[in-house]
Structure 1
Amino acid sequence: MAYWSVRLPEELREVTSVDEAFAAIVNAAREVGFDSCAYGYQHPLPFSRSEIFLLNNYAKDWRERYDDAQYLGVDPTVIRARASIEPIVWSNKLFRGAAQLWDEARSFGLRHGWAQSCFSPDGGVGLLSLARGDEPLSELELRVKDIELRWLVNVAHGALSPWAVSISKRRSRKLTRREIEVLRWAGDGKTADETGRIISRSRFTVDFHFKNAMRKLGVRTRTAALARAAAMGLLR
């Protein structure tokens, strides 16, 4: 492994912000031969329209165009990343169903790329994309750099996904200790009466805390509250 792969974990232990962490990943990407880098993290919640966290060093005009055209929804690298952790090499065939996206990306100098996803225990999905505009990716280069590229994906995900999760949690309404407690007992199959006896509170108090938790979680049923709480890791 190259020297940068030894230095990178040390640098990431010293960072104090997500921007510093991403800058270290960008520098590592350059060391391995790519001048453009992007990391995206899809949160497991809400189930129907998951929140997306994105970082990249692309040109400002391309970032704005990508957002305005809603290319995230048709980007084949993103679609594949949600289903498999196999590496993705950009190609005409890959982008056949998103020709306009492919043409515009290349006009901004993003002509050759490689990407791979990584899954978190809570159901979140991270995707590291590396790109460059000059030299095409040969099969030989991909074989030689395979270990380094896969290693970089895991390091990037380990460093950046906690920031993505932390930022998302700060945006959400925080559950109290008691609200989490009644959710956990309900997750164990306890009724409101049983939970009340366990925590020395009345059934009405248990229901009060559960309803508050449902409101904060943005759901209308107990089942949905438990499903969302489980996906957020609150029932552990």
Structure 2
Amino acid sequence: MESWGGALLDALDASGDVRQAFNTVAKCAEQLGFEWCAYGYQYPLPFTDRRFYLVNNYAESWRERYKEAGYLRVDPTVAHAHASLEPVLWCDDLFRSAQQLWDEARSFGLRYGRAQACYGPEGGVGMLTLARSSEPIGQAELRTKEVRLRFLVNVAHAALTKRILQIKGLHLAPLTPREREALRWAADGKTSTETAQILSTSSHTVEFHMKNAGRKLGARNRPAATARAAAAGMLR
């Protein structure tokens, strides 16, 4: 495991962009017995028009069909990723609410799979899916491979999101410690006057930090700035 994991980390560090990093992950997935690999990332913002970044080595015809049919909206593995960090295996019960998706996926050879989510400090949600056309994923196999599978999920998420967030316009400007502090108190329901008393400063100074934070976050008002900062993991 140590040698395998070290080689994976070295290869990911040497990857220049998202596609190169993904190809490294897909190669490891193949070594673990899976023909196909997919990674999806949901950005934390905006709230009302969630954006996704998808990369996989599925057949082009299936990628087009999945997009055309809008299966991302009904895919139960995506819903599971928002609710749990535990892995989920593909099965009839899982896809009961999306039978057409399940039937079509299997027609493309996607019959057995394992999906697991990982949450990033920036507030995004990622999911790594490994799939194959034959041989069900049994408990004996999982006992043998589970540690490596979980390791792969975490390092893939770290490597891929790092590169995804480097794509133009997706990074929020960093907040100063004072801006974070003002936003944290605002998130706890404090007014600028109350925050000023807590921080032993003036309400004018608090408002100054709040306005700067709002500008960096692209928020037009105090509630929006607080919500966006919280969603992006900036208030931890």
1:75 — aligned with what?
Answer: 75
Aligned to 2:202: 194
SS at match of 1:171: coil
CA distance in 1, matches of 2:176, 2:47: 20
Q: Which amino acid aligns with 2:20?
A: E
- TM-score, normalised to structure 1, is 0.82
Question: Please, which moves more after superposition, 126-135 or 218-227?
Answer: 218-227
1:196 and 1:235, CA in 2 relative to 1: closer, same or farther beyond 3 A? farther
Q: Would you say 1:20 and 2:20 are equivalent positions?
A: yes
Percent identity reads 50
Structure 2 match to 1:102: 102
Instruction: Provide the rounded CA distance (Å) in 1 between the counterparts of 2:49 and 2:120.
Output: 18
Contact 1:76 1:98 in 2 (8 A): yes
Structure 1 residue runs without a partner (length 5+): none
Task: Give how far 1:53 is off.
Answer: 1.4
Which residue of 1 is the match for residue 160 of structure 2?
Answer: 160
Q: Which structure 2 residue ranges, 5 or more long, are not aligned?
A: 187-191
How many residues are paired up?
224
Offset at 1:13?
1.3
Find the counterpart in structure 2 of residue 171 from structure 1: 169
Q: Deviations over 1:122-175 (max 9, x none)?
A: 3221100000012222221122211111111111111111122222xx225865
Q: Which residue of 2 aligns with 1:129?
A: 129
Give the corresponding residue for 2:4. Answer: 4
Tell me, yes or no, if the aligned pair for 1:29 and 1:130 is still in contact at 8 Å: yes
The 8 Å contact of residues 172 and 217 in structure 2, kept in 1 or not, is answered as no
One-letter amino acid of the structure 2 residue matched with residue 51 of structure 1: R
Contact (CA 8 Å) 1:185, 1:195: kept in 2 or not? Answer: no
CA spacing shift, 1:214–1:152, aligned 2, 3 Å? same
1:170-196 Cα offsets, whole Å, 9 max, x none, are 225865x8x968854642554699365
- The RMSD of aligned alpha carbons is 2.9
Alignment of 1:47-62 (within 5 A): 47-62=47-62
Contact 1:4 / 1:31 at 8 angstroms: preserved in 2? no
Q: What's the counterpart of residue 229 of structure 2? A: 229
Query: Tell me, what secondary structure is at the counterpart of 2:109?
Result: coil
CA deviation profile, 1:203-227 (whole Å, cap 9, x unmatched): 8xx49x93x8657745442111122
Q: Does the 8 A contact of 1:114 with 1:131 survive in 2?
A: yes
CA-to-aligned-CA distance 1:11-39 (integer Å, 9 cap, x gap): 11111111111110000000000010001
AA of the residue aligned to 2:161:
S
Deviation at 1:46, TM superposition (A): 1.6
Aligned partner letter, 2:57: N
* TM-score when normalising by structure 2: 0.82
Tell me the amino acid that sits aligned with residue 194 of structure 1: S
CA distance in 2, matches of 1:197, 1:52: 37
